[in-house]
Each structure stands twice: as structure tokens, then as C-alpha cells.
Amino acid sequence: MLTLKTPFEGAMAEVHREKVILGNTRLPLTDPAFTTNMKTLVADCWSALIDNRPEFPDASLMLRKEIGVLRGESLSHGMDVSSHTEKSL
């Protein structure tokens, strides 16, 4: 999704099931455009332990922060983070 390319292009449904769903295989995020924070967010979202995955509001905040960085904005620029957990910041 981040590269706008089809993941596992050309792979059949059974291969996808075996590698991704059962084997926990993920495509490496080797594109230099991926920041460390984005790589961490993707890895956290794909955690095999569901309790380790960020909740949507936390993931959304992290994405908004990344967009702000790309735009050259500061975190405090128009964003209320008062209700967010320490883990999400």
C-alpha cells in the first residue's frame, strides 16, 4: 500500500495463504522513503500478538505525525494529543 504496488504480485491465493497468513511472511520495507517510524508502525500492525498491535486512534496519530513531518509541520500544529496515551506519542 505504501509503495502503490500490488503486494505479492503474481502469487496465487494458496501461495499467499501459506506465506502470509500461515507463515507470517511480510515484504521487506527496503524503500529508503520509509522512515523508521513507518517501518515500526507497519511491523507493529502486523504483530502476531494481537495485543501488541496499536489501536486505530494510535495508528492514525502516528500516520498524521508522519504526514506532518513530510509537510514540515510540528506535532503541536493543530493537533490535540491530550487524550492519547504515552505509548502512542
Q: What is the structure's pLDDT at 17?
A: 75
Looking at residue 62, its pLDDT comes to 92
Note down pLDDT in tens along the chain; length 89 residues: 566 777 667 667 777 678 776 777 777 777 787 888 888 998 899 888 999 999 999 999 999 998 998 888 865 544 455 455 555 45
Can you tell me the distance from the alpha carbon of 64 to that of 82, in angstroms, rounded to the nearest whole number? 15
Predicted structure pTM score: 0.56
Domain ranges of the chain: 1-29, 35-89
Alpha-helical (H) ranges within the chain are: 13-16, 36-45, 56-71
The pLDDT, as a whole number, for residue 58 is 95
